[in-house]
Amino acid sequence: MNRSIETLKGIGKARADVLREAGIATVADLLYYFPRRYLDRTIVESTALREGTQATVIVRVESTYIAHGKRSRLVVHCQTMRNEPLHLVFFRGVGYFRQVFKKDDVLVVSGKIEYFGGLQMAHPDFEHMDEEDESALIHVGRIVPLYPTTDALRKKHLDSRGLRRLTSAVFEDAGLNVPEVVPPDLLNIHKYMGRQEALQAIHFPQSAESLESARLRLKYEELYLFNVMMVHKKETREKIPRQVRPVAFGKSREYERLLTHLPYTLTGEQLRAIEAMLAETQKDFASAVLLQGDVGSGKTVAALGAAVHYLENGLQAAMLAPTDVLARQHFRTLVDLTGLTDTIHIGLLTAAETKKSKTATLEQLASGDINFIVGTHSLIEDPVVFKNLGLLIIDEQHRFGVEQREKLRRKGKNPDLIAMTATPIPRTLCLTEFADLRIVLLKEKPAGRHPIKTMRLREDRRQAMYKSVRKHVSAGRQCFIVYPMIEESEKKDLKNATEGFEELRTSVFPDFKVDLLHGRMKNPDKERIMNDFRRGDTKILVTTTVIEVGVDVPNAAVMVIEHADRFGISQLHQLRGRVGRGAHESYCVLMADAVTEDADERLTALENSDDGFYLAEIDLKVRGPGQLLGLKQHGLADFRLADLYEDRDMVQQSFADAQEFRDINEDARSIIRSHFTEGSVVFPT
């Protein structure tokens, strides 16, 4: 299995090189190079040939001749077993094919049946049949695999046919012995076939049923091994000894003070989440938590509740946010919520600070005078030194790479981690991508929130929409009007937003203060604009997706999203979460004209549900995990067979199995190493 591909017959240096290029370096790699689809070429002998259909039939060669015409061609006269005439026609390689077919040869041919004065197949797939050994057929007469190929592979005759031949030869080798990698107990419990049988059946299935069973078994193998890896990874990480310890839950005076100082009472979910996060800190290893909650569920204050336990014990905490606007807002929230205290000193560090204030902040961080710092990427930079960082909080964690997170973490002595998501992440993705984090859920939103009424409008209702915005603004509410903004069409998007803004300001709502905010503005301008809006001076804020993240203005009750069909579900849900944060009835209008089927599904889901956990599942289905999480940031496991949406039950099952059956053999480890490239996993020996 693990021998090099070069040991196979017919594979010299040149072919081995292109195979390696395609990720096939060993025989095992070849066997895990799965077909992308199949052609059903099981032989049909019972029905007559019909023009226009694909067919696979056994024929006997009668004669061959070259027909000269506009294009000369080789014609091979054949007869099927039902004595129907069938011509095989070859326009290319006439000289070659002429040598290939002899009178009375028995062939299996497969192709499309055409009619040109008689039934014929042009350039069919064919194979000479050795009548003694029908089972040796590779290319026809069976369900035939089609492989993904590349130009480089094709040049070396490693197209579907070539790969088929190569793979088939591996299975024909009597010495082939594919070791089992899933524990036998699990195979028994789930009634899966053995590995060798499954690999053979996925390449050369005897029937649609055996193909399905093989796929199931191999999918399971993939998920099970992945999960075993994650179990070990988690254990490796959990072995980072704890060097910092916050005050235990229930013992913090600062926390008690915070509870009385807050303008609201924490929800049961928030209290439970804070307790759960601190329970982790009583263990001997550094803790890492993924705090999952729907948009607006109050994650910030939950993180704050945990943080004060660290501050009280003389440790520092840092909160990392993806944008300036958000970092500033967090800073303000934290200052407001904690009130004046001798214990808590909050600082802010972003790229926008003046050099002088930055230097001061850095000094205070190093000396410990600031014990709670809020900031953007600037926090990750080298000059930032902590006295004793005990807790790292990452907001909107998907905006940061693992490397950035670790770099910041290394600035402390194994600090604890709380990562927060913008909107919920589907459970299967949590199990796979974030299995090394302990998941803490905030399932409910604070009481008294009205669900956001969401409706989708076409262009012809625009005037009615404006009228309704006017009504709400006149009643004292504020409104967001959001334009899409993506990198690929940034210039055009910006123009749309700017023109939209001009139109709204001058002709639609000349009597209200309308403002524009987008990511390209200078930081002081952004700040001023946000402040005006937060204070309620600005009634209507035209903006791009910069406000997607975290912005919290409770009096904003209406959101209009232009070109809503261009956004993904989670993004729309997150945007929509900017309203419905106060006591007022809130509305979200999705403007979209003609839409694709996918977009239709997204918008309908948004109209019908306000539940981020549910919408996340739909998003996973529609967009897939890569899009959902942003492939770039995550070393997202690249599953060959498993689909995290379709196979979600199996994901959960295999996760449970992996925890119970975590010991795997060396063959299984080698699969993990080559399929998931997780160099960092340390297996217990």
Q: How many CA atoms lie within 13 A of 37 on its CB side?
A: 2
Binding flag, residue 427, ligand ADP (CB under 6 A):
no
Dist. CA 46–CA 590, nearest whole Å:
57
Tokens of 267: 């929800």
Binding flag, residue 323, ligand ADP (CB under 6 A):
no
CB of 155 to ligand ADP, least distance (A): 53
Residue 364 burial (CB < 10 Å; 0-12/13-18/19+)? middle
How would DSSP label each residue in 631-670?
Answer: TTTS-----SS--TTTTHHHHHHHHHHHHH-----HHHHH
CB of 577 to ligand ADP, least distance (A): 6
Binding flag, residue 371, ligand ADP (CB under 6 A):
no
Amino acid residing at 242: R
CB of 333 to ligand ADP, least distance (A): 7
Binding flag, residue 297, ligand ADP (CB under 6 A):
yes
Pairing of strands 346-349, 143-146: unpaired
- Evaluate the CA torsion angle 549, 551, 554, 556 in order and state its sign: negative
CB of 448 to ligand ADP, least distance (A): 7
Nearer to ligand ADP, 35 or 612 (CB): 612
- Residues between 545 and 584 that touch Mg ion (CB under 5 A): 550
Residue the block writes with tokens 């807790």: 391
Q: How many CA atoms lie within 13 A of 219 on its CB side?
A: 19
Binding flag, residue 64, ligand ADP (CB under 6 A):
no
CB of 420 to ligand ADP, least distance (A): 7
Residue nearest ligand ADP (C-beta atom): 298
Nearer to ligand ADP, 446 or 624 (CB): 446
- Cα dist from 138 to 130, 165, 499, whole Å: 12, 7, 63
- 415 binding partner (options ligand ADP, Mg ion, none; Cβ < 5 to 8 Å by kind): none
Nearer to ligand ADP, 305 or 426 (CB): 305
∠ CA 669-674-680 to the nearest 5 degrees? 70
Q: Are 66 and 95 in contact (CB under 8 A)?
A: no
CB of 615 to ligand ADP, least distance (A): 14
When binding is defined by CB under 6 A, the residue of 194, 446, 519, 536 that contacts ligand ADP is 446
E-strand stretches of 274-394: 288-293, 316-320, 346-349, 372-375, 389-394
Q: What is the DSSP letter of 460?
A: G
Q: Are 373 and 348 in contact (CB under 8 A)?
A: yes
Dist. CA 94–CA 73, nearest whole Å:
6
- 295 binding partner (options ligand ADP, Mg ion, none; Cβ < 5 to 8 Å by kind): ligand ADP
CB of 612 to ligand ADP, least distance (A): 9
Binding flag, residue 424, Mg ion (CB under 5 A):
no
Q: Helices 208-238 and 195-203 meet at what angle, rounded to 10? A: 130
CB of 609 to Mg ion, least distance (A): 20
- 264 binding partner (options Mg ion, ligand ADP, none; Cβ < 5 to 8 Å by kind): ligand ADP
When binding is defined by CB under 6 A, the residue of 293, 322, 580, 612 that contacts ligand ADP is 293
Nearer to ligand ADP, 26 or 329 (CB): 329
Nearer to Mg ion, 97 or 434 (CB): 434
- 424 binding partner (options ligand ADP, Mg ion, none; Cβ < 5 to 8 Å by kind): none
CB of 581 to Mg ion, least distance (A): 11
473 phi, psi to nearest 5 deg:
-65, -40
CB of 273 to ligand ADP, least distance (A): 11
Nearer to Mg ion, 294 or 619 (CB): 294
- 586 binding partner (options ligand ADP, Mg ion, none; Cβ < 5 to 8 Å by kind): none
Which residues have C-beta within 8 Å of that of residue 528, sequence separation ≥ 6? none
Binding flag, residue 300, ligand ADP (CB under 6 A):
yes
- 329 binding partner (options Mg ion, ligand ADP, none; Cβ < 5 to 8 Å by kind): none
Give the binding-site size for ligand ADP (rule: CB under 6 A).
Answer: 18
Binding flag, residue 299, ligand ADP (CB under 6 A):
yes
Which helix or strand (DSSP H or E) is residue 77 part of? strand 73-80
Give the three-state DSSP class for 524.
helix
Which residues have C-beta within 8 Å of that of residue 382, sequence separation ≥ 6? none
Q: Are 416 and 391 in contact (CB under 8 A)?
A: yes
The region of 17-25, 259-267, 401-409, 597-605 touching ligand ADP under the rule CB under 6 A is 259-267
When binding is defined by CB under 6 A, the residue of 289, 301, 317, 629 that contacts ligand ADP is 301
- Residues between 581 and 600 that touch ligand ADP (CB under 6 A): 581
- Cα dist from 388 to 357, 359, 361, 376, 660, whole Å: 21, 19, 15, 19, 38
CB of 575 to Mg ion, least distance (A): 13
CB of 351 to ligand ADP, least distance (A): 22
CB of 441 to ligand ADP, least distance (A): 12
Burial 98-116 (b: 16+ CB within 10 A, else e): eebbeeebebbbbbebeee
Nearer to ligand ADP, 267 or 316 (CB): 267
Distance, CA of 198 to chain centre: 28
- 552 binding partner (options ligand ADP, Mg ion, none; Cβ < 5 to 8 Å by kind): ligand ADP
Nearer to ligand ADP, 552 or 667 (CB): 552
- 273 binding partner (options Mg ion, ligand ADP, none; Cβ < 5 to 8 Å by kind): none
Write the interaction track for ligand ADP spanning residues 533-572; mark x where CB under 6 A is met and - where it is not: -----------------x-x-x------------------
Give the binding-site size for Mg ion (rule: CB under 5 A).
Answer: 1
- 267 binding partner (options Mg ion, ligand ADP, none; Cβ < 5 to 8 Å by kind): ligand ADP
Binding flag, residue 298, Mg ion (CB under 5 A):
no
Q: In DSSP terms, which residues pair with 291 in a beta bridge?
A: 420, 440
Binding flag, residue 296, ligand ADP (CB under 6 A):
yes
- Residues between 481 and 520 that touch ligand ADP (CB under 6 A): none
Nearer to ligand ADP, 42 or 609 (CB): 609
Q: Are 63 and 77 in contact (CB under 8 A)?
A: yes
Dihedral (C-alpha) 442, 446, 450, 452: value to the nearest 10 degrees?
-40
Nearer to ligand ADP, 443 or 528 (CB): 443
CA-wise closest residue to 481 among 509, 508, 528, 516? 516
Binding flag, residue 65, ligand ADP (CB under 6 A):
no
Q: Are 588 and 561 in contact (CB under 8 A)?
A: yes
Binding flag, residue 648, ligand ADP (CB under 6 A):
no
Q: In DSSP terms, which residues pair with 440 in a beta bridge?
A: 291
Q: Are 352 and 524 in contact (CB under 8 A)?
A: yes
Binding flag, residue 124, Mg ion (CB under 5 A):
no
Q: How many CB atoms lie within 10 A of CB 250?
A: 10
Dist. CA 347–CA 681, nearest whole Å:
37
The region of 9-17, 124-132, 296-304, 661-669 touching ligand ADP under the rule CB under 6 A is 296-304
Judged by the rule CB under 6 A, the positions of this chain that interact with ligand ADP are 264, 266-267, 270, 293, 295-301, 446, 550, 552, 554, 577, 581
Judged by the rule CB under 5 A, the positions of this chain that interact with Mg ion are 550
